[in-house]
Amino acid sequence: MAETQLTVEKRTEFGKGAARRIRRADKIPAVVYGHGEAPIHVTLPGHQTMMALKHANALLDIDLDGQKHLTLPKDVQRDPIKGFIEHVDLIVVRRGEKVVVDVPLTLTGEAAPDTIVNQELTTLSVEAEATHLPESVEVSVEGLEAGGQVAAGDVTLPAGATLAGDAEQLVVVVQAAASAAQVEAELEAAEAEAGIVREESSEESAQADGSADAPADSDES
**Structural domain of 206:** 180-212
Sorting pLDDT into bands at 50, 70 and 90, what band is 109?
very high
Domain annotation covers residue 13: yes
Give the mean model confidence (pLDDT) for residues 152-180.
Answer: 91
Query: Where does a domain end: 93, 108, 124?
Result: 93
Tell me, yes or no, whether 71 and 53 share the same domain: yes
Q: Report the CATH number that the domain containing residue 47 is assigned in CATH.
A: 2.40.240.10
Tell me, yes or no, whether 170 and 206 share the same domain: no
Q: Which residues pair with 173 in a beta bridge?
A: 118, 149
Tell me, yes or no, whether 125 and 82 share the same domain: no
Lowest-pLDDT range of 40-54, 78-92, 121-135, 200-214 = 200-214
Closest by Cα among 122, 121, 148 to 56: 122
Domain annotation covers residue 220: no
Query: Could you tell me where the beta strands, DSSP code E, fall in 130-169?
Result: 137-140, 149-151, 162-163
Query: Where does a domain end: 68, 93, 118?
Result: 93
Tell me, yes or no, whether 29 and 73 share the same domain: yes
pLDDT of residue 177: 84
* Whole-angstrom distance, CA of residue 127 vs CA of residue 56: 14
For residue 183, is pLDDT > 80?
no
Q: Report the CATH number that the domain containing residue 172 is assigned in CATH.
A: 2.170.120.20
Count CB neighbours of 144 within 10 A: 19
* Whole-angstrom distance, CA of residue 137 vs CA of residue 156: 8
